[in-house]
Chains A and B, each alone.
Chain A
Amino acid sequence: MNWKLILLTLGAFILIWVAFLVTGVSTVEGLQQMVKGSMGSARGWTGTLREMTPLLLLGIAVFVGLRAGLFNIGADGQFNIGALCGVFVALNYQGPGAIIVALLAGCVGGALWAWPAGLIKAHRGGHEVITTIMLNNLAFFLTLALVKGPLKDPNAQSPTSANVADAAFLPYIFESGNIKISLGWVFGIVAVIGLWTWLKKTVSGYELEATGANPKAAETAGVKTKAVTVRAMLLSGMIAGFAGAIQVLAFEHRFYSGFSPGYGFDALGVALLAGNSPIGLLPSSLLFSVISKGVTSVSLLGVPKGMNGILIGLVVIVFAAMRYRKAVKNDG
């Protein structure tokens, strides 16, 4: 820690204090309630782990991109498209393995939605941040038009799809009293381990990291960096689409306008905080879900939801500053 970082952290705390002051809730009481509401009870943990599922899966999606040197800001759009594909399949196909087919549909949808960004980055040099922002907005309007039109539940007032059949619900793997753990959460943990193994133990994983670390050197060493870039974007989108389908089958059971409250953007923070190893995604997604669940529980005291954006924004800024200071130092 140097004085600049201390100042930044101090500034962040002052902002949080001011934000609580504006809402009229005492900071200490508010923060206490946040911890109690998210981690103080079985019910709180259930909510926290539910929040953690999309954040972890999307965090993995963004992380894959980051390792290949790509900022996939489009995870939110891929998540929405994946969720919509999952709902569409679950509503129209009730045969054997409906859950698996719906999850696959989510993967395909998310990957297709990320594809243009990968192609444009690799072959046209267009920055993936800009394309994925545009694709996010396209996804938003496309899904909105679909749930207002062809996919709308005729019995509902608001733009929403019908609920999927009970048979397509993703089961809880553990259920006892107020504690419920979804299979989707377990998929997230398994995916982290799988990603770690892939990146560390396989040639293709190594090529991805080499491309991200230094594309020119990788190209010289014989890595086809353009193909790797497109593949990384496809994989990132696929995981984000999978996260969307999981969200549908495990928790929401339908798609509606405003399906994602910005999970894809929070996931950028999750991936960034994770550091260089996928294992870091576990604590960082837990931190974000504690904040998110904590803010939901503190809203009973009269703290608006906006507190979530303030806290996550500040966490992202402070942690990024710490990592980049280190990077600058290492450069000499």
Chain B
Amino acid sequence: MANTSPVISVLTSTLTFSAPLVLAALGGLCSERSGVINIGLEGKMLGAACATGFVTQATGNAFLGMISGLMTAILLSFLHWLLTQTYRMDHIISGMGINLLAGGATALVAKTFSSLGSEKMNAFPVAAYWVMAWTAVFGVYWYLKNSRGGLRLNAVGQDPDKARQMGLKPVKVRFMALLWTGVFTGIAGALVVSNAGSFTDNMTAGRGYIALAALILGGWRPIPAFFACLFFGFLDGVQLQLQGQSLFGQTIPVEFWQALPYLVTILALAGLLGKGSKAPSGLGRA
């Protein structure tokens, strides 16, 4: 990359870093707009990345790899549905348990199959994922605004009791919503591993939480959340470009740029940016 202009490389890295965030944030959006708090995006992405990586390496088939990644994320999402809707468990505890479980299981698999993990992986081209991410944003936007299913999802997320009186079954609506959460986080995980070329322990490195932050910054709406993801991706790109360079005669540590998205989110929550919380009002309710 020595000869490319800094602008081009910042743009490329913005796209590279934001695509998995966009997909994960959409996954979170499906879940949270239906009223299910989902801090388990990280675990689902990690599980999908692990399954995609190792199955692709074992079979040499990128399609099989991606399918197993998707299935893993959908299964974890289904577990979240089961625990929160049937077992009526607190959404945050369930999400945390799933993150612990996924983190542990993927670490165990990565260690056990470490020789397989070093093999070359023929994945789908990353650009295919980018296109998927962008189309999905508009797909979800349109779906929530115009389709019957989208309006139902919203109704359940805003007030599950009223939705029940209207004859909707929140448990069923949320099942479909969490299925889509699994699909989106699954693709996000597959993308993360395809970018890197092989699975490494804890490789999602907090992207699930950044996606959650983007979702909140975007007020739980698809288009603003998309821009928040682009913004976080841009910060990452800028960080790569500015590494080791000094600003006003002072060397800024890399960690400052890495921490910036989190700082922005806290400031946004504190109400210094944006117009305060726009959380779906039925969030976390049975």
- Measured CB to CB, the residues of A under 8 A from B are 4, 8, 15, 19, 22-24, 71, 73, 116, 119-120, 124-127, 129-131, 133-135, 137-138, 141-142, 144-145, 148-149, 265, 268-269, 272, 303-314, 316-317, 320-321, 324-325, 327-328
Residues of B that sit less than 8 Å from A by CB: 39, 83, 86-90, 92-94, 96-112, 206, 209, 212-213, 216, 253-256, 258-259, 262-263, 265-266, 269-271, 276-277, 279
CA of A148 to CA of B87, assembled, Å: 45
Instruction: Please count the residue pairs between chain A and chain B whose beta carbons lie under 8 angstroms apart in the complex.
Output: 158
A23 to B94, alpha carbons, bound, how many Å?
A: 26
Q: What chain A residues lie within 8 Å of B279 (beta carbons)?
A: 127
Q: How far is the CA of A141 from the CA of B107 in the complex (A)?
A: 22
Which residue of A has the minimal Cβ distance to B268?
A126
Q: Residue B83 contacts which of A127, A268, A311, A317 (CB distance < 8 angstroms)? A: A317
Return the contact of B97 from the options A120, A135, A320, A327 (Cβ within 8 A): A320
Cβ–Cβ < 8 Å partners of A126 in chain B = 269-271, 277
Minimum Cβ distance to chain A for residue B187 (Å) = 23
**B109 x A22 contact (CB < 8 A):** yes
A19 and B93 within 8 A (CB): no
A327 to B93 Cα, complex, angstroms = 15
- Tell me if A304 and B265 are in contact (CB < 8 A): no
Can you offer 9 A-B residue contacts whose CB atoms are under 8 A? A116-B270, A134-B262, A305-B111, A307-B104, A309-B103, A311-B104, A312-B100, A316-B96, A320-B93
Residues of B within 8 A of A131 (CB): 266, 269
Given contacts A141-B262, A327-B88, 6 further A-B contacts (CB under 8 A): A71-B92, A142-B255, A306-B108, A309-B107, A320-B89, A320-B90
A26 CB to nearest B CB, Å:
15
Q: With A130-B269, A133-B39 in contact, do A124 and B277 touch (Cβ < 8 Å)?
A: yes
- B107: A residues at CB distance < 8 A: 304-306, 309
- B100 CB contact (under 8 Å) in A137, A145, A265: A265
Q: Which residues of A contact B96 (CB under 8 A)?
A: 73, 265, 268-269, 316
The answer to whether A324 and B112 touch (CB under 8 A), given A133-B39, A265-B100, is no
